[in-house]
Structure 1
């Protein structure tokens, strides 16, 4: 990413046909590819490259200007560089920096561990070639030929020591905001200069670096005014050019676009209560009584994050149920309904925090309208728990199911152990949870985990058949049926039968019951009003 595409193109007769495709290492495992314009590259060529990347099942992002570092390495620069300056200046230790960024801020590894893995000399030469200041500790390591894992010693000792052996308790008072403010400032540069959109920046750092969330999204949650104030203070105190706020960041804050709480920042946030377009991790549409929900995190295979759960809980808690006849839930993209919990968000989490995931699943379970899970691809871990909280589950034949948490030393924490017991019975539920293996859609249908497994070409029609029955069914009758069946499951038979009897009696007085019996007598389709 330190090789300008325009420099490569300028020696050719047709520079407009030159395009950069930047894969990430190892390419066989990494999904991201940056599609980089040179100075003369045409949109037609860039679009062709983008489509080709998609054809090999990778995720492309456009880099619309040929900036050094492209998108991802523009952001990772301060992630590694700023902690190195802080250690060089005696303001932190290596272990404090790594422990804070990994265990408290949720990054997949600390900046010094990352430098040791990729090679300290690589970052050094990139900075030197680009004319960027080099932290003294980095320069010293290169001069000593202590370049990281490949030489046996770098910021950590891999020959005579235990390598990157930092622990959560090493975090101390490391100033993580200084690092994240610099990354956010570089994101402002990318967006403000038209290099990439916030969505592209965030997809890039999540897929290319394994960040727990996009840096634009994280900055919006921190508050762009907080980020700006931090940068201004550091710039005033040090005079260092790297702390100078980018004009686009200044512009956002001056316009009151300070982030999520303000309703706008890098992203727009609709603050109207009950607005269906106000969610970042969900796509929501309400049409003809069907509330269609998409889990919109395709870059992480729709992994279930705390933010996603909070949005799902908010949506189903605030939507006007009088306008809803049924709900569908599916994942964006063609790889997964949801591949599980976003474990990159576990860093620094307190046990009492992760125990709070269950209420969102309960909101789905208790929603007073039928909820249908549309499963195409992986349905694992927390994704399976979400599907289990739905009333009906339809899947393509290529889908797979599992509760792999045991492989992380965990158990399902969103209702999985209990709902699997009730759906599958003890023997099969324990097999899924204890072994952590996947089962295919055919077995899932045989076991009763899903209602139908159908060919992918027939999936839309199969879903439509179910949804149409629910959409045109009696709203009050379906609500009572769901409530009686859900609550009766945990009651004694006597109590459950009493609930059923009460529900039957209640429904006997509704207009829908009268319409249903009249339609039956007249040999026509009923038109239920929910009254």
Structure 2
């Protein structure tokens, strides 16, 4: 499938999706949302791909939704908008956000749905929806509080303030901040390291962690044990144990 507003690249075990509407700060319009969803599905179905990296072209990762389409967005239509954060979160493969610039509104919501966030020193984060008289609708009110705490989340959402990458790192919104020239090399380095692990075990680990974010501690512990028991039945478990005992690198097959 060919795309207009995104770029999908595959490098060995790593896929890279680049939001590519630089003239519009990569704002999310209907076409971009549909293309992104299709690209993520492509990545999901490609067994050769182990890790997905998301980034943006130009000065933005994603600067939010396309405001030009807001006039036509009714409460009914809002229910039919593709929730990109949920698509990312449900992908059974690790996802790394390589945030190059402005990461606002829907863009911040997509980044927060990723498993890791690597930010360039030029990146800026925020949920400025309140300035338009609306609230975040793609996970901002929920994921943000789980990542940085309720009080800090309320401050950012209520004020609409935009924060720099170093502040985002300080409050736990991003994993690390690097120079702009280091952003993609660092993201690829981490992705390559993750890609050497068992894709089947990674999927179970992601499911367990995400489940724990949505439930009580005890329910999360119970679910973790179910995923742990499943991991004991994997071919990769046998290979991993044998490789450790034989002092060699494991050759995981994803089963």
Contact 1:358 1:415 in 2 (8 A): no
Q: Tell me how far apart the structure 1 counterparts of residues 249 and 6 of structure 2 sit (CA, whole Å).
A: 35
The equivalent of 1:454 in structure 2 is 178
Q: Does 1:432 align with 2:156?
A: yes
| Structure 2 residue 73 is the aligned partner of structure 1 residue 349 | yes
Aligned-residue Cα RMSD (Å) equals: 1.5
Structure 1: gaps of 5 or more residues: 1-274
292, 303, 324: which one aligns with 2:16 = 292
Are 1:419 and 2:161 counterparts? no
Q: What's the offset of the Cα at 1:350?
A: 2.0
- What TM-score comes out, normalization by structure 1 length? 0.46
Map 1:214-293 → 2, pairs under 5 A: 275=1, 278-293=2-17
Q: Which 5+ residue runs of structure 2 have no aligned equivalent? A: none
**Contact conserved, 1:326 with 1:470, CA < 8 A, in 2?**
yes
Corresponding position of 1:363: 87
- Matches of residues 173-252 of structure 1 in structure 2 within 5 Å? none
Matched, 1:519 2:243: yes
1:309 aligns with 2:37: no
User: How does 1:349-498 map onto structure 2 within 5 Å?
Assistant: 349-357=73-81, 359-498=83-222
| Separation in 1, partners of 2:81, 2:175 | 26
Cα shift readout 1:5-51 (whole Å, capped 9, x = no counterpart): xxxxxxxxxxxxxxxxxxxxxxxxxxxxxxxxxxxxxxxxxxxxxxx
Q: Per-residue CA shift, 1:460-519, capped at 9, x if unaligned?
A: 332122111221111000000011111122122222111111111111121211221222
Q: Distance in 1 between matches of 2:218 and 2:143?
A: 22
Q: CA deviation at 1:421?
A: 1.0
2:52 is aligned to: 327
- Aligned-partner SS, 1:530: coil
Q: Kindly tell me the number of residue pairs found equivalent between the two proteins.
A: 254
Deviation readout 1:52-77 (Å, 9 max, x if unpaired): xxxxxxxxxxxxxxxxxxxxxxxxxx
1:322 partner SS: coil
Structure 1 contact 358–413 (Cα < 8 Å) conserved: no
Alignment partners' CA distance in 1, 2:61 and 2:228: 36
Distance in 1 between the 2:119 and 2:249 partners? 29
Q: Deviations over 1:309-351 (max 9, x none)?
A: 1222222235414232011111112x11111111011123222
Q: Give, in whole Å, the separation in 2 of the partners of 1:316 and 1:458.
A: 25
Deviation at 1:433, TM superposition (A): 0.3
- Report SS of the residue matched to 2:72: coil
SS in structure 2 at match of 1:523: coil
Show the 5 A alignment for 1:89-104. none
Residues 384-429 of structure 1 deviation map (CA, whole Å, 9 limit, x = unaligned): 0111111111001121111111111111111111110111110110
2:224 corresponds in structure 1 to: 500
Q: Residue 450 of structure 1: CA displacement?
A: 0.5
Aligned-partner Cα distance in 2 for 1:423–1:476: 25
Looking at structure 1, the residues matched to 173 and 70 of structure 2 have their Cα atoms a distance apart, in angstroms, of 28
Q: TM-score with structure 2 length normalisation? A: 0.94
Tell me which of the two structures has the higher relative contact order, counting C-alpha pairs closer than 8 angstroms and 6 or more residues apart. 2
* Greater per-residue strand proportion: 2
Aligned ranges 1:116-127 → 2 under 5 Å: none
Asked if structure 2 preserves the Cα contact closer than 8 Å seen for 1:355 and 1:413, the reply is: no
SS in 1 for 2:226: helix
Q: Within 2, Cα distance between the matches of 1:459 and 1:314?
A: 25
